[in-house]
Structure 1
Amino acid sequence: MLKQILLPALVALTLTATSFAAAPAPERDQRRFEIRSLQMMIDHHFAAVKMSELCDGRTVHAELQQICDDIETSQMEEIVMMQSWLQSWYGITHQPKLDRKSQRQVQYLSTLTGERFEKAYMALMIEHHSMAVRMALEILNEAYHPEMLNMAAMTLAKQGDEIAQMRLWLQQWYGINDLDHHDRR
């Protein structure tokens, strides 16, 4: 469903991106925005990778293990891509790091296994992906480079689908409908 909604946006974005080929260099505010956004998204993806690495040996459902593996692989690839953009566009090197909240979440997840791990992981990842969706929307509104615009559109589609899937699993497997009253630390 989300893909059906976003497909016209992706087509429009692709058409818009081709018009950037002859555009002037990004303005100073756009440069600052892109640098800050890329650094934040690199760190954000790194947190998702670290949480997803913990799935090995802790999940009950093979389907969840598969989504963990997908998140780990795709977000590491995107980190490398965004690092290359920072370097080639702005001459900046950025190594990913975990903020305090992400450190606490990874530490908490590392203490859990089985059903408790699955429930906590999915609740935390839904929250985490929701933040990435908000960041992607901001990128769509503010970024200069078409590569960033395309990445943001793909983030909306992929992470939106993963949010929907994990919410469905929480509901089907554990009867959890209200994430506000579930322990996410």
Structure 2
Amino acid sequence: MNSKRSVFRRHAAVAAAGAAALVLAACGGGGDSSAGHDGHTTASPSSTAASASQGRHNAADVAFAKGMIPHHRQAVRMADLAHGRARSAQTTKLAEDIKKAQGPEIETLSGWLTSWGEEVPAEGAMDHSMHDTGGMMTTAEMDELQKASGKAFDTAFMEMMIKHHEGAVSMAKTEQADGSYAPAKKMAGQIISSQTAEIDKMNELLGRN
């Protein structure tokens, strides 16, 4: 009898130990599963990456991109007018160089804004305050340029583009002083260098140097 009772107790103890092990395993598994689930669904890694990305630019960088896109678009439209209207090869070459440089920059600036979660200025959108600060042409000035041809076009194009470039250089200098996004500051430096050289060239062609 005692032997049977001892065997029964041993079986009961083993069963209890097994049940306890199962409970512990379930708890442990649940913990691991929860941790793994949290690891997949938590926004922490992406948030950290986003924060790092956001930290690379500031309001000045956004203003630079949003201002330079319509500014460049107008320069490209002005350059497009040279075809069939310009008389001198220098004016035609200058217009081609402007399109080659500023077209890709528009795409780059638009890409930055999109990656920052900012809105890209719509085609035709323009801040009218830029007429004074950014050297943008008015509608009347663009109409005047479109109606001109030959030497009159060359002169008007260069005079307007000098003013336009001076506005871009000013905007680029502001970006270099106030911006924090390294690629934008680098582009600003390139704009200052290339457009200052083009201003000098146009002044020379106009006989101002």
TM-score by length of 2: 0.66
What secondary structure sits across from 1:90 in the alignment?
coil
- Listed one character per residue, the Cα deviations across residues 135-173 of structure 1 (whole Å, up to 9, x for unaligned) are 0100000111110010000001100010000000000xx
Preserved CA contact (<8 Å) 2:72 2:102 = yes
Preserved CA contact (<8 Å) 1:42 1:96 = no
What secondary structure sits across from 1:115 in the alignment?
helix
The residue type paired with residue 140 of structure 2 is R
Alignment match, 1:56: 83
Deviation for aligned residue 1:61: 1.1
Q: Is 2:164 aligned against 1:123? A: no
The residue type paired with residue 117 of structure 2 is Y
Of 137, 144, 154, the residue aligned with 1:108 is 144
- Listed one character per residue, the Cα deviations across residues 12-56 of structure 1 (whole Å, up to 9, x for unaligned) are xxxxxxxxxxx88538xx632222221110011011011111000
Query: Cα gap change, 1:98/1:110 in structure 2, threshold over 3 Å: closer, same or farther?
Result: farther
Deviation for aligned residue 1:72: 1.5
Of 38, 55, 66, the residue aligned with 1:26 is 55
Preserved CA contact (<8 Å) 1:50 1:106 = no
Alignment match, 2:67: 40
Query: Cα gap change, 1:66/1:24 in structure 2, threshold over 3 Å: closer, same or farther?
Result: closer
Preserved CA contact (<8 Å) 1:133 1:159 = yes
- Flag structure 2 segments of 5+ consecutive residues without an equivalent: 1-51, 129-136
Aligned mates of 1:24, 1:62 — CA distance in 2: 45
Alignment match, 1:170: 206
TM-score by length of 1: 0.74
Of 140, 156, 177, the residue aligned with 1:141 is 177
Deviation for aligned residue 1:102: 3.6
The residue type paired with residue 44 of structure 1 is H
The residue type paired with residue 147 of structure 1 is P
Deviation for aligned residue 1:92: 2.8
Preserved CA contact (<8 Å) 2:64 2:172 = no
Larger-Rg structure: 2
Higher relative contact order (CA 8 A, sep 6+): 1
Deviation for aligned residue 1:91: 4.2
CA RMSD of aligned residues (A): 2.1
Preserved CA contact (<8 Å) 1:52 1:68 = yes
